[in-house]
A and B are shown apart, each in its own frame.
Chain A
């Protein structure tokens, strides 16, 4: 049984009396400890799927099951599933110190020993413990994204939903954050569902990838098929070509 099962998911927004179908009949399943990627251009519905899992988008059809049971957004859910957002400048509370940001989930869930856990969390994501009482504006973008990852891991979830976790970062900082995510996944046996517009990032991080366009699933690819350019649909191929074009070869 897969850990995350999504069947015929549809998400419909109503804007100015018009219905916008952001996601239409998308199905996917992610095994435990797998890393699964969603790739597509802006407006393809990839982030909406993550938001729908968390209850942040209006689901108009289909089912989402986690560990075999239909998803319910209760306290148990947040201990199992956590999300890291795209923009570390917007996703951390500007007037909370890192200590407060990191200890809040512990307080909500009645988990003790907050002191030691916060210090350990900072160490786990490679931040100096002297940062503990700093505010987000005193950190760089990469450091903030480390805090966002640390926050997501405070409740020791099994599943991390990653929404473009590195697209706001410089290339060298992106490399550090991707390395951190890969290391944490290996150490803790995490399951990733990761969204990116960058095929190279998805290829680096994920075992399987679903290509999306206009809210629909276009094609699912295993990593080897992606690397070997063995795609069946024209859209997946054009996305690959536009990305492969950017790879500089020695020729």
Chain B
């Protein structure tokens, strides 16, 4: 079943230096599965994710032939209806907890804000739900974390708090934008397994945005490879090593490997054709 379908998505910015096209005709569809979007910085992957929530500020402009989520036309919805969708139906986890959590608000208050405002829960009910959400992302002492300010948490804890916050309303689709890039490898593995469990248990759709091709390959079912605002290759994650596109191959080969030979790493010979 298709949860989200996007056809010919374009995001452009009218700047002083002329029109900048960040996303140029991206199409994909998503069921209740894990879709990875990979590419280098500036490839348009984050903008693609944000467009689904219509979170692109002017002068940025979103255009699409079609963008449907669960039968609703996202392009036609009013701002008010979009607000109802954001959070309860489609949620997004941002890259860096340092910049995405409110620095002067306790974690607990941030977690409970939506429950109190949107769901009109009592303080004690909201608190119980917040504790449960923190436990779901394997935070061991949720009571302490509720009373902490974001700067008192480590990067890994902050990231888990953000995931917990997004999962409270039980969304159908989660967009995770580089959710583990700021984390250490061992913490990264933990956060991924938490996300994985949640996708499996709750039957969520997941869009996982990352610059790390190997990570995406291990974690997702399907991968879109983006270059300069376009999808240059779409493939099943298990076929990644058989990738056809020279850009995808280049991204895979330029990473050093433990125990690899120490000769110069192959660079990426960019071809103007890829951007066409």
Contact = CB atoms under 8 A, between A and B. Distances in A.
Interface of A: 41-43, 141, 170-176, 178-179, 182-183, 197-201, 203-205, 226-228, 238-240, 242-248, 250
Given A203-B256, A239-B186, A248 B155 contact: no
A247 B257 contact: yes
Contacts of B184: 41-42, 197
A170 B211 CA distance: 7
A179 B125 CA distance: 56
B265 A178 contact: yes
Nearest to A179: B264
Interface stretch (B94-102, B114-122, B199-207, B247-255): B247-255
A184 B214 CA distance: 29
Give the 3 A-B residue pairs with the shortest CB-CB distance, closest first.
Answer: A227-B259, A204-B256, A175-B254
Contacts, number: 100
A198 B256 CA distance: 10
Interface in B218-276: 218, 240-241, 250-252, 254-260, 262, 264-268
B186 A238 contact: yes
Interface in B180-202: 184-189
A172 B214 contact: no
Contact of A248 (B211, B218, B256, B258): B218
Contacts of B260: 200, 203-204
B40 interface: yes
Contacts of B154: 42-43
A200 B155 contact: no
A172 B264 contact: no
A172 B267 contact: yes
A175 B188 contact: no
B259 A228 contact: yes
B215 interface: yes
Contacts of B41: 141, 170
Given A204-B260, A246-B214, A172 B268 contact: yes
Given A170-B40, A178-B265, A226-B258, A242 B186 contact: yes
B186 A171 contact: no
B90 interface: no
A176 B269 CA distance: 11
Contacts of B254: 171-172, 174-175
Contact of B258 (A178, A183, A199, A238): A199
Grouping DSSP codes into helix (H, G, I), strand (E, B) and loop, the B interface class, with mixed when no group exceeds half, is loop
B258 A243 contact: yes
B215 A201 contact: no
Contacts of B258: 199-200, 203, 226-227, 240, 243-244, 247
B213 interface: yes
A183 B189 CA distance: 33
A196 B139 CA distance: 27
Main secondary structure of the interface of A (DSSP, over half): helix
Given A175-B267, A199-B185, A203-B258, 4 more contacts: A42-B184, A200-B257, A227-B259, A239-B186
A245 B218 contact: yes
Nearest to A228: B259
A174 B217 CA distance: 20
Nearest to B247: A172
A179 to B, nearest CB: 5
A240 B258 CA distance: 9
B184, B241, B256, B264: residue with the most chain A Cβ atoms closer than 10 Å: B256
22 contacts: A41-B184, A170-B41, A171-B251, A171-B254, A172-B254, A172-B268, A175-B254, A175-B268, A176-B267, A179-B264, A179-B265, A197-B185, A200-B255, A200-B257, A203-B259, A204-B256, A242-B189, A245-B218, A246-B218, A248-B214, A248-B240, A250-B241
Most chain B Cβ neighbours within 10 Å, of A171, A183, A197, A205:
A171
Contacts of A41: 184-187
Nearest to A206: B262
Contact of A182 (B155, B189, B211, B264): B264
A175 B268 CA distance: 9
B267 A245 contact: no
B140 to A, nearest CB: 18
Contacts of B267: 172, 175-176, 179
Nearest to A246: B214
Interface in B133-185: 154-155, 184-185
Contacts of A240: 258
A200 B155 CA distance: 22
B251 to A, nearest CB: 6
Nearest to B184: A41
Contacts of B257: 200, 203-204, 247
A75 B208 CA distance: 50
Given A172-B251, A239-B186, A242-B185, A200 B256 contact: yes
